[in-house]
């Protein structure tokens, strides 16, 4: 019971939040609404003109040519005008709805970018993408189909009533009886039909989930000889789904179009009886009967439309609640403390007693302290899960520091602005992620300060220019399918060039584990060497051979630094590093160990 209550309240807040978005394109909506009212008015004048024609001209048989031309012209004019106005009005409503959705999409997208990596860690990519695109698309239906249909049809119904009251107040009053009847049907429809529709959708997704799972696990099903049992289980769900569907068909049959048409005949009966009874005592204008019958013919299509859009409403609300949930997400990326706007000039890095945990329970780093002087290379080595990447994640301020302190040039990391950090620290990731677009774009990203010259210089520097310039379109070569046409090594070189184009003070390297052909491998090692010189470098190394010249090697195990020193010192020490080194010597040249 309680749960149901909160659900209703939530629905209502989602609904009013969706409505508040209308302000985003207020002017257009007001214009559309004004046109809608005029268009409806003109449209409904038609039957009145015919009524005047029947009563004042056809019945008394007076056909003055000039009046006739005027009436015919007026009638045609009204039809054409209302069609034009309606067209403009429909386009305006739709445009406004589309603009609103666009601004909502941008809101969601920007908000997602403000979130910290912690959020990305716990949210699957697929569900995020679907919220930004598919769910907003479902909300589009709310504005385009539901809201505009409600406004238009309600205005139309109101217009019909006004016309009827104008023609005959008494009959207009009688016709008001129709409203509670229709309202009653709508309430019933919402209660039974919409409910059974939702129930059917639930069953459908259950059915599809079952099918999907069976397809994925079919070999298990077959190996364990369970085909017969699963067929029966599937048939059962299938049957339940069909029963729910049948129930929905029955409710629709009782409450939707057939019921509305029943009311239509009731309305016709009211009109005819009214004039019939009136005719016993006084003459009746035939034209008025015509006009009333005509209005009644037009009255029920909007009603049908309104009912059918009700179930769309429900779906939009569900999508809306998902989108707003994402909009309200405030697991923000770590921000800046103070307003001194320090600048990184030297690139000295220090970790003091840093302890860190992603989930607050299991620490991945314990009491890490080290110091990298400007221009030095510090290499991090260790088994998978030893905490190497966490150190670089903290240094890049992807995550908020929990215990201990990190300083750059003796200023706490948290005092730097994000821009400053990101422009002075160059990150080279393990998997070189390429974006859609050409090579130049992948090197400069969106930064317009980076000229084509700079792109070329950076590529030269890392010796990527050699292969890039051999491509048919050179730097303008499009990157197809996330760069799958390039070799792993070439992708690495492009991402090196990207890093160098941003001219970082500090370099953070997360070395690739993948096997690279020897030739490119040499180019990469050469490039890395050049990149490191003169920059403070924190390198995560998988191939110990590449970091033998590091000023300091930290060996991590389960989040702790267990050995530290230069290559020579560690080899002499004969500990974990020595074992790892021997292992890799053994494997050469085929395999590496992460």
Partner 1 sequence: MQDLNVFWDLMWYFKQEKRRYLTGIALLSLVSLCLLVPPKIIGYTVDHIKNNSLTERQLGSYMLILAAVAVTVYILRFFWRVLIYGASIQLALLLRNRLYTHFTNMSPRFYQKRRVGDLMAHSTNDLQAIQQTAGDGVLTLVDSSMMGGFTLITMASTISWKLTLISLLPLPFMAWSTSRYGTMLHERFHKAQEAFSEMNDKVQESISGARVIKAFGQEEEDVDAFKALSKDVVQKNIAVAKVDALFDPTISLVVGASFFLAVSYGSFLVLNGELTIGQLVSFTSYLGLLIWPMLAFGWLFNIVERGRASYDRVTALLKVNDVISEKEDGIQKTPAGSVVVNLTSFSFEENGQKALQDIHFELNEGKTMGIVGKTGSGKTTLCRLLLREFEVEDNQIFLAGHDINDYRLHAVREAIGYVPQDHFLFSATVAENIAFGKYRASFQDIKQAAKDAAVYEDIVQFKNGFETVVGERGVTLSGGQKQRISIARALLTEPELLILDDSLSAVDARTEEDILKNLKRKRKDKTTIITAHRLSSVGHADLILVLDEGRMVQKGTHEELIAVPGWYRDTYERQALESLIAKGG
Q: Which 95-114 residues touch partner 1, going by CB under 8 A?
A: 95, 98-99, 101-102, 105-106, 109-110, 112-114
Closest CA to 533 of 545, 550, 510: 550
Window 363-392: residues binding partner 1 (CB under 8 A): 383
Nearest distance from C-beta of residue 212 to partner 1, angstroms: 6
Q: Is 118 in the site for partner 1 (CB under 8 A)?
A: no
Q: Is 279 in the site for partner 1 (CB under 8 A)?
A: yes
DSSP summary character for residue 163: H
Identify any residues that bridge with 352 across adjacent strands, giving them in sequence order: 405
Q: Is 562 in the site for partner 1 (CB under 8 A)?
A: yes
Is there a contact between 512 and 431 (Cβ–Cβ < 8 Å)?
Answer: yes
Nearest distance from C-beta of residue 319 to partner 1, angstroms: 15
Q: Is 77 in the site for partner 1 (CB under 8 A)?
A: no
Stretch in the footprint of partner 1 (CB under 8 A) among 176-184, 185-193, 339-347, 428-436: 428-436
DSSP summary character for residue 115: B
Q: Is 338 in the site for partner 1 (CB under 8 A)?
A: no
Window 30-59: residues binding partner 1 (CB under 8 A): 43, 46, 50, 53-54, 58-59
In terms of Cβ atoms closer than 10 Å to its own Cβ (0-12, 13-18, 19+), residue 61 is exposed
Using the minimum distance from each CB to partner 1, give the nearer residue, 318 or 421.
Answer: 421
Using the minimum distance from each CB to partner 1, give the nearer residue, 373 or 543.
Answer: 543
Using the minimum distance from each CB to partner 1, give the nearer residue, 11 or 214.
Answer: 214
For residue 172, the Cα-to-chain-centroid distance in whole angstroms is 49
Q: Is 478 in the site for partner 1 (CB under 8 A)?
A: no
What is the pattern of x (binds partner 1, CB under 8 A) and - over residues 450-469? Answer: --------------------
Tokens found for residue 79: 């039809």
> Rounded distance, CA 40 to CA 157, Å?
9
Nearest distance from C-beta of residue 577 to partner 1, angstroms: 9
Among 62, 158, 169, 276, binds partner 1 (CB under 8 A): 276
Tokens found for residue 51: 């009524």
Among 24, 415, 422, 530, binds partner 1 (CB under 8 A): 422
Using the minimum distance from each CB to partner 1, give the nearer residue, 1 or 591.
Answer: 591
Stretch in the footprint of partner 1 (CB under 8 A) among 184-192, 284-292, 357-365, 523-531: 284-292
Using the minimum distance from each CB to partner 1, give the nearer residue, 11 or 94.
Answer: 94
Among 429, 471, 514, 571, binds partner 1 (CB under 8 A): 429
> Rounded distance, CA 42 to CA 85, Å?
9
Stretch in the footprint of partner 1 (CB under 8 A) among 6-14, 88-96, 361-369, 564-572: 88-96
Among 31, 90, 155, 471, binds partner 1 (CB under 8 A): 90
> Rounded distance, CA 160 to CA 129, Å?
45
Nearest distance from C-beta of residue 573 to partner 1, angstroms: 10
First to last CA, the chain: 54
Cα torsion through 233, 237, 243, 244, rounded to 10 = 160
Angle at 61 between CA 276 and CA 286, to 5 degrees: 15
Among 17, 28, 366, 558, binds partner 1 (CB under 8 A): 558
Among 153, 194, 195, 214, binds partner 1 (CB under 8 A): 214
> Rounded distance, CA 532 to CA 439, Å?
23
> Rounded distance, CA 570 to CA 556, Å?
13
Q: Which residue has the tokens 């069909």?
A: 242
Using the minimum distance from each CB to partner 1, give the nearer residue, 475 or 502.
Answer: 502
> Rounded distance, CA 475 to CA 443, Å?
9
Q: Is 277 in the site for partner 1 (CB under 8 A)?
A: yes
Cα torsion through 377, 381, 386, 390, rounded to 10 = 20
Is there a contact between 103 and 67 (Cβ–Cβ < 8 Å)?
Answer: no
Among 14, 18, 82, 161, binds partner 1 (CB under 8 A): 82
Among 215, 281, 362, 470, binds partner 1 (CB under 8 A): 215
Q: Is 120 in the site for partner 1 (CB under 8 A)?
A: yes
Among 345, 533, 583, 588, binds partner 1 (CB under 8 A): 583
Closest CA to 493 of 518, 527, 522, 531: 527
> Rounded distance, CA 377 to CA 277, Å?
103
> Rounded distance, CA 29 to CA 95, Å?
9
Q: Is 327 in the site for partner 1 (CB under 8 A)?
A: no
Q: Is 272 in the site for partner 1 (CB under 8 A)?
A: yes
The set of long-range contacts for 172-176, using a CB threshold of 8 Å and a minimum separation of 24, is: 174/270, 174/274, 175/267, 175/270, 175/271
> Rounded distance, CA 562 to CA 325, Å?
44
Q: Is 177 in the site for partner 1 (CB under 8 A)?
A: no
Among 249, 308, 310, 318, binds partner 1 (CB under 8 A): 249
Among 129, 154, 176, 179, binds partner 1 (CB under 8 A): 129
């Amino acid at each position: 019971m309680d749960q149901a209550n909160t659900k209703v309240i939530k629905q209502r807040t989602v609904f009013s939040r969706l409505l508040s978005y209308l302000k985003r394109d207020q002017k257009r909506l007001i214009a559309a609404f004004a046109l809608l009212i005029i268009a409806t008015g003109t449209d409904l004048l038609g039957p009145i003109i015919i009524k005047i024609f029947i009563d004042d001209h056809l019945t008394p048989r007076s056909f003055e040519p000039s009046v006739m031309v005027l009436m015919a012209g007026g009638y045609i004019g009204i039809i054409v005008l209302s069609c034009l106005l309606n067209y403009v009005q429909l386009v305006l409503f739709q445009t406004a709805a589309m603009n609103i959705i666009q601004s909502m999409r941008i809101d969601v997208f920007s908000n997602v970018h403000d979130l910290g990596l912690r959020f990305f860690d716990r949210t699957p990519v697929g569900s995020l993408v679907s919220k930004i695109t598919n769910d907003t698309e479902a909300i589009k239906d709310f504005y385009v189909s539901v809201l505009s249909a409600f406004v238009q049809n309600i205005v139309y119904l109101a217009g019909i009533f006004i016309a009827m009251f104008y023609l005959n107040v008494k009959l207009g009053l009688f016709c008001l009886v129709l409203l509670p009847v229709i309202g009653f049907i709508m309430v019933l429809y919402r209660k039974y039909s919409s409910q059974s529709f939702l129930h059917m959708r639930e069953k459908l997704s259950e059915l599809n989930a079952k099918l999907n799972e069976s397809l994925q696990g079919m070999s298990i099903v077959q190996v364990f000889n369970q085909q017969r049992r699963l067929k029966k289980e599937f048939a059962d769900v299938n049957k339940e789904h069909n029963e729910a569907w049948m129930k929905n068909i029955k409710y629709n049959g009782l409450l939707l179009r057939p019921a509305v048409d029943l009311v239509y005949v009731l309305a016709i009966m009211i009109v005819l009886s009214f004039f019939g009874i009136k005719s016993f005592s006084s003459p009746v204008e035939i034209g008025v009967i015509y006009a009333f019958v005509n209005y009644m013919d037009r009255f029920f299509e909007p009603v049908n439309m309104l009912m059918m859009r009700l179930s769309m409403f429900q779906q939009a609300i569900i999508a809306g609640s998902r989108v707003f949930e994402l909009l309200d997400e405030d697991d923000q990326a770590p921000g800046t403390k103070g307003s001194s706007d320090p600048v990184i000039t030297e690139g000295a890095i220090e970790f003091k007693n840093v302890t860190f945990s992603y989930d607050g329970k299991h620490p991945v780093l314990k009491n890490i302290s080290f110091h990298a002087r400007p221009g030095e290379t510090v290499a991090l080595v260790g088994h998978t899960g030893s905490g190497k990447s966490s150190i670089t994640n903290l240094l890049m301020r992807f995550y908020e520091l929990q215990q201990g302190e990190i300083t750059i040039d003796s200023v706490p990391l948290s005092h730097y602005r994000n821009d400053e950090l990101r422009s002075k620290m160059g990150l080279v990731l393990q998997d070189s992620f390429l974006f859609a677009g050409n090579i130049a774009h992948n090197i400069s990203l969106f930064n317009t300060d980076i000229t084509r010259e700079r792109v070329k210089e950076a590529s030269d520097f890392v010796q990527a220019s050699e292969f890039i310039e051999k491509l048919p379109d050179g730097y303008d070569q499009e990157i197809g399918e996330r760069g799958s046409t390039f070799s792993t090594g070439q992708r690495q070189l492009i991402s090196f060039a990207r890093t160098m184009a941003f001219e970082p003070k500090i370099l953070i390297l997360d070395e690739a584990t993948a096997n690279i052909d020897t030739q490119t491998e040499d180019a990469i090692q050469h490039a890395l060497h050049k990149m490191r010189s003169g920059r403070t470098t924190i390198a995560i190394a998988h191939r110990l051979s590449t970091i033998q010249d590091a000023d300091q090697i930290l060996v991590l195990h389960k989040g702790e630094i267990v050995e530290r020193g230069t290559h020579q010192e560690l080899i002499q020490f004969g500990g974990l590093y020595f074992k790892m080194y021997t292992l890799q010597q053994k494997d050469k040249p085929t395999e590496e160990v992460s």
